[in-house]
């Protein structure tokens, strides 16, 4: 029997034939893809013809076509719909893929050809994009140790293989803790909870096979529970479980794994000649070096901390007014902050949530893309990997641009958080390949499914990433879509969030789930007026995580990451009633792989630009200004990594921004 993963897919838009793919197909498909890749690499390295861009760099771009296809399907499933077989395959594939990558960068004959081209680059008559791809390829090989020899090369290969294994273990431990814990609730325990929370708790109970409602560690359920439950004992129990992920002892404890990862990253950097892993990692980012990151974060930390301390005093007074002595605790903050928001802004989640139906917010995200970029979205009836996943064809002017898959609901088989990925990226080399883009979220199910305002922002955020993939228009897959500097990649996503705050978007799409009536203008205005409410808390929990990440990697690796985390928080004067957004044992951004390691700051670096970029629309006459949208697409959304990030942004805006727009946007410009 043929393996469906290795066939040519005669499916709508080349979608994977999910209804025919079994878990047993992945291992043989991966082996075949790796062998095909090795043969292609040998053919490039051993080519007797002199090195040219076509027979070396372009050929290298196409060498992993089958591997990209198999891995694109597998890793999307492993993150969004895991099971025991897929977790075992992840553990099996991690060292194999690391070894394969090292085989390529350690291939002396291959690197000699790349290096020869780099040395002769001025005489090659390359296009701007080809020169960029040559530069990035040469840099990637060098930073992967291609110029190392002997023991150093062998040790670096071992380090990278071990890091791949540890990242997989960290991810799977975290998923296990999130999947296995839940807190059953009696009917009495539901007292004081809004209907949308009790509905979500009952749905979660059914998903866990329980007879009654439960609280799980899904953010879309636990956060509203912490906001609304008057039961302080239950809030504390839920909060402690949420923050204890990855440090419960036993087989799923991530603390020793984090320590080993940090030590190996430091060793990797030093083998390559860098003083620290942060120096190595940030060399290729917009920030350039650890000090630039620290300067930005501390510029924001001080006013945010001052605001958070002032807010904590207000909330603690409310706690004492309820007859509870003692200090405000982290499991109290959201509860009393929600009460304060209702009192000061005449807003509460119960009133707001019916206006943010999932279906309406999907349509709102589509509608903004339609008005900005002329995109159309047509639902598809196709086989997908899970019943909750849905697909749309994306077109413009009748021409096919992309296939978009949305997978929005929380489930035990899905890792926490929200993300965008591409099962297939856009490129023109070897044929006009159109992308298959996936947005994955963890919203609570309901009938209808209702989102918080933060959930709706998350939906817009991930769709901003999706637009970066869908509108990509480059020749080479290695620079397609989101293949950009890590501290630039969040610009399109965070910028797109701004359209959710546009009054005409809310007027058109924020309609009551039961009556269909638009959100009353007075409620809309109160919502928008309160958008910086509790921003001290939100900024402190984020910046604390970013500074801990930076401290971990900027210098010698700590033997005890938990002690190092505590030292950083003490030095910063972390308010006692606020926890890090991601404590070390569940800091998947940093420890599940290298993506955001020493780079969690990048959301804030991009925020400096997104605030300024939205100002460009406002200055031009409105949020849907056609000329500004066209510039945004041309210089950022379609350009991928074809130029340096600061050059792309300057081409769009005419200059680089300062931090002032960020502070103003967070309401921290006047905080002392």
Which residue out of 207, 266, 462, 490 is catalytically annotated? 462
On whether the CB atoms of residues 459 and 451 are closer than 8 A, the answer is: yes
On whether the CB atoms of residues 96 and 36 are closer than 8 A, the answer is: no
Helix (H, G, I), strand (E, B) or coil at 326: coil
**25-36: buried (b, 16+ CB within 10 Å) or exposed (e) per residue?**
bbbebbebbbeb
In terms of Cα–Cα distance, which of 341, 304, 332, 329 is closest to 535?
A: 304
Helix (H, G, I), strand (E, B) or coil at 408: strand
Backbone angles phi, psi at 450, to 5 degrees: -110, 140
Task: Tell me, yes or no, if 316 is annotated catalytic.
Answer: no
**521-530: buried (b, 16+ CB within 10 Å) or exposed (e) per residue?**
eebbebbeee
Say how many C-beta atoms besides its own lie within 10 A of residue 255's C-beta.
15
In terms of Cα–Cα distance, which of 515, 623, 478 is closest to 65?
A: 478
Q: Which residues contact 354 (CB under 8 A, 6 or more apart)?
A: 450, 512, 513, 514
Dist. CA 373–CA 333, nearest whole Å: 41
Backbone angles phi, psi at 399, to 5 degrees: -95, 140
Identify the bridge partners of residue 393 per DSSP, sorted by sequence position: 378, 403
| 57: DSSP letter | I
Dist. CA 625–CA 634, nearest whole Å: 14
Sign of CA dihedral 414, 415, 420, 424: negative
* DSSP element (H, E) containing 433: none
Dist. CA 200–CA 227, nearest whole Å: 14
Dist. CA 129–CA 639, nearest whole Å: 10
Dist. CA 200–CA 203, nearest whole Å: 5
Q: Write out 96-121 in H/E/C secondary structure.
A: HHHHHHHHHHCCHHHHHHHHHHHHCH
Alpha-carbon Rg for the chain, nearest whole angstrom, is 25
Helix (H, G, I), strand (E, B) or coil at 365: helix
Dist. CA 664–CA 301, nearest whole Å: 14
Cis peptide before 247 (omega within 30 of 0): no
Dist. CA 351–CA 524, nearest whole Å: 11
Dist. CA 632–CA 636, nearest whole Å: 5
In terms of Cα–Cα distance, which of 245, 336, 282 is closest to 592?
A: 245
| Residues involved in catalysis | 462
């Amino acid at each position: 029997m043929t393996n469906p993963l290795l066939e040519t897919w005669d499916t709508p838009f080349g979608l994977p034939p999910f209804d025919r793919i079994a878990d047993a197909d992945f291992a043989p498909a991966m082996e075949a893809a790796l062998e095909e890749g090795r043969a292609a690499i040998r053919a490039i390295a051993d080519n007797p013809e002199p090195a040219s861009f076509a027979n070396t760099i372009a050929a290298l771009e196409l060498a992993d076509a089958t591997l990209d296809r198999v891995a694109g399907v597998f890793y999307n499933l492993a993150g969004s719909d895991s099971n025991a077989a897929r977790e075992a395959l992840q553990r099996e594939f991690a060292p194999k893929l690391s070894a394969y990558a090292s085989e390529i960068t350690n291939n002396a004959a291959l690197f000699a050809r790349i290096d020869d081209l780099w040395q002769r680059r001025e005489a090659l008559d390359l296009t701007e994009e080809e020169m960029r791809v040559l530069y990035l390829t040469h840099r990637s090989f060098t930073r992967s140790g291609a110029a190392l020899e002997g023991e150093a090369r062998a040790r670096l290969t071992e380090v990278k293989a071990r890091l791949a294994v540890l990242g997989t273990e960290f991810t799977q431990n975290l998923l296990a803790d999130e999947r296995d814990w839940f807190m059953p609730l009696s009917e009495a325990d539901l007292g004081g909870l809004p209907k949308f929370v009790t509905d979500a708790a009952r749905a979660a109970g059914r998903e866990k096979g329980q007879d009654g409602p439960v609280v799980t560690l899904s953010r879309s359920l636990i956060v509203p529970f912490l906001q609304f439950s008057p039961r302080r004992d239950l809030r504390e129990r839920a909060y402690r479980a949420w923050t204890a992920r990855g440090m419960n002892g036993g087989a799923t404890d991530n603390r020793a794994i984090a320590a080993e990862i940090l030590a190996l990253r430091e060793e990797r950097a030093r083998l390559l000649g860098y003083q620290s892993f942060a120096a190595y990692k940030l060399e290729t980012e917009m920030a350039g070096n650890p000090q630039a990151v620290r300067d930005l974060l501390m510029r924001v930390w001080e006013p945010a901390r001052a605001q958070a301390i002032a807010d904590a005093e207000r909330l603690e007074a409310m706690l004492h007014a309820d007859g509870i002595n003692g200090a405000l605790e982290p499991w109290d903050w959201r509860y009393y902050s929600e009460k304060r928001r209702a009192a000061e802004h005449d807003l509460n989640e119960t009133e707001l949530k019916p206006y943010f139906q999932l279906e309406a917010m999907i349509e709102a995200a589509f509608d903004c893309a339609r008005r900005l970029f002329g995109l159309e979205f047509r639902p598809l009836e196709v086989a997908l990997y899970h019943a909750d996943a849905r697909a749309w064809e994306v077109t413009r002017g009748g021409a096919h641009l992309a296939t978009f898959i949305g997978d929005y609901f929380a489930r035990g088989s899905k890792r926490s958080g929200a993300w965008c990925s591409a099962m297939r990226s856009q490129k023109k080399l070897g044929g006009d390949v159109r992308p298959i883009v996936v947005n994955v979220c963890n919203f609570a199910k309901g009938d209808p499914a209702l989102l918080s305002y933060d959930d709706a922002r998350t939906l817009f955020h991930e769709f901003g990433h999706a637009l970066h993939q869908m509108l990509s228009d480059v020749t080479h897959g290695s620079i397609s879509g989101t293949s950009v500097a890590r501290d630039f990649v969040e610009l399109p996503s965070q910028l797109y969030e701004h359209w959710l705050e546009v009054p005409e978007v809310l007027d058109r799409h924020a309609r009551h789930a039961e009556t269909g009536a638009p959100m009353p203008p007075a409620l809309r205005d109160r919502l928008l007026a309160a958008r910086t409410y509790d921003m001290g808390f939100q900024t402190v929990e984020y910046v604390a995580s970013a500074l801990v990440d930076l401290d971990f990697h900027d210098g010698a690796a700590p033997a005890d990451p938990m002690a190092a985390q505590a030292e950083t928080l003490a030095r910063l004067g972390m308010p006692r009633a606020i926890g890090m957004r991601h404590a070390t044992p569940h800091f998947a951004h940093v420890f599940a792989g290298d993506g955001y390691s020493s780079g969690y700051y990048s959301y804030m670096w991009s925020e400096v630009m997104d605030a300024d970029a939205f100002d460009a629309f406002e200055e031009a006459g409105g949020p849907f200004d056609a000329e500004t949208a066209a510039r945004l697409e041309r210089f950022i959304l379609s350009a991928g990594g074809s130029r340096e990030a600061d050059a792309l942004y300057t081409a769009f805006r005419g200059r680089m921004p300062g931090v002032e727009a960020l502070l103003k946007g967070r309401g921290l410009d006047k905080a002392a």
